[in-house]
């Protein structure tokens, strides 16, 4: 997995390339927490180039959303493919996150 | 049921070893023309969960312990057994629903749920060893 991080105004966009699973989830967690430490409160995670996500990866997203919301911010998700959408629906995490079909819409949602 | 191939390998208790095993099993199923979604979602996620459980919970990441993976591939299904050196657990007793309002914000507790949701069958194999067996039938092949 690799992370591409960019800024769109006051929103930090993190694009995940590859799988988000138990062996690499800490990398995403640390990166987002570092951004939050630096003052970021609005995060978009872009899954356009993401493969599959396991329960550990989902868990990290849940944990990061809680942390950002405690800080008065939020984490929004974009570009889930059909498989990932199914995964979020199965776990009902589609009710916990605001999910947009494009990065632009996720940016506009803040 | 004609067996089209088998797999028997052991990996150390290191989560970094999960993806190569998953890739290998998925590749073998792709050769048998499993459905795209089964190859991109069901199989990789469920198998990652089983291996992760074996390494983190079964073997507690003890470097001296191994996880054994055996798979039988056929035109109809793939059956994967994941064996660890842990004490085992009562799979049937693990029925927590991570989709309830109370559980939704928990970081953990979705692994077994996903395995069950994405596989046709998940069971603990009776015996001295701690083995979880996952069965995924090729799309279009009913039980």
The class level of CATH for B3-137 reads alpha beta
Domain assignments of chain B as residue spans, ordered by start: 3-137
Strand ranges (E), B14-76: 66-74
Residue A91 has pLDDT above 80, yes or no: yes
For B99, other C-beta atoms within 10 Å of its C-beta total 16
Greatest distance between any 2 Cα atoms in chain B: 46
Whether A92 and chain B come into contact, CB under 8 Å, resolves to yes
A13-46 pLDDT per residue, tens: 999 999 999 999 999 999 999 999 999 999 999 9
Find where tokens 């899954």 sit: A47
pTM: 0.94
B104 vs A96: CB contact, 8 Å cut-off?
yes
Q: Which residues of A84-108 are buried (b: 16+ CB within 10 A; e: fewer)?
A: bebbbebbebbebbbbbeebeebbe
Phi, psi of B49 (to 5 degrees): -65, -45
Domains (ranges, CATH) in chain A? Answer: 2-108 (3.30.750.24)
* C-beta atoms of B45 and A90 within 8 A: no
Contact B48 A54 (CB under 8 A): yes
**pLDDT of B129 strictly over 90:** no
Picking from A54, A63, A86, the nearest residue to B107 by CB comes out as: A63
State how far residue A14 is from chain B, nearest Cα, in angstroms: 20
């Amino acid at each position: 997995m690799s992370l591409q991080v960019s800024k769109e105004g006051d929103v930090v966009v993190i694009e995940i390339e590859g799988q988000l699973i138990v062996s690499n989830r800490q990398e995403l967690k640390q990166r987002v927490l570092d951004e939050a430490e630096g003052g970021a409160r609005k995060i978009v995670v872009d899954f356009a180039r993401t493969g599959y996500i396991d329960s550990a990866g989902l868990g990290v997203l849940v944990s990061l959303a809680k942390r950002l919301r405690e800080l008065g911010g939020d984490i929004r998700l974009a570009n889930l493919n059909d498989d990932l959408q199914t995964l979020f629906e199965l776990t009902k995490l589609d009710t916990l996150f605001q999910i947009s079909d494009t990065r632009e819409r996720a940016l506009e949602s803040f | 049921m004609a067996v089209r191939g088998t797999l028997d390998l052991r990996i150390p208790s290191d989560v970094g070893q999960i993806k190569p095993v998953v890739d290998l099993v998925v590749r073998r199923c792709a050769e048998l023309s499993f459905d795209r979604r089964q190859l991109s979602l069901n199989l990789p996620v469920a198998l990652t969960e089983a291996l992760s459980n074996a390494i983190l919970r079964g073997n507690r990441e003890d470097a001296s312990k191994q996880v054994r993976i055996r798979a039988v591939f056929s035109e109809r299904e793939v059956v994967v057994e994941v064996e660890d050196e842990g004490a085992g657990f009562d799979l049937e007793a693990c029925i927590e629903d991570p989709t309830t309002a109370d559980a939704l914000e928990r970081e953990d507790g979705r692994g077994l749920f996903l395995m069950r949701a994405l596989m046709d069958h998940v069971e603990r194999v009776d015996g001295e060893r701690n083995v979880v067996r996952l069965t995924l039938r090729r799309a279009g092949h009913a039980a």
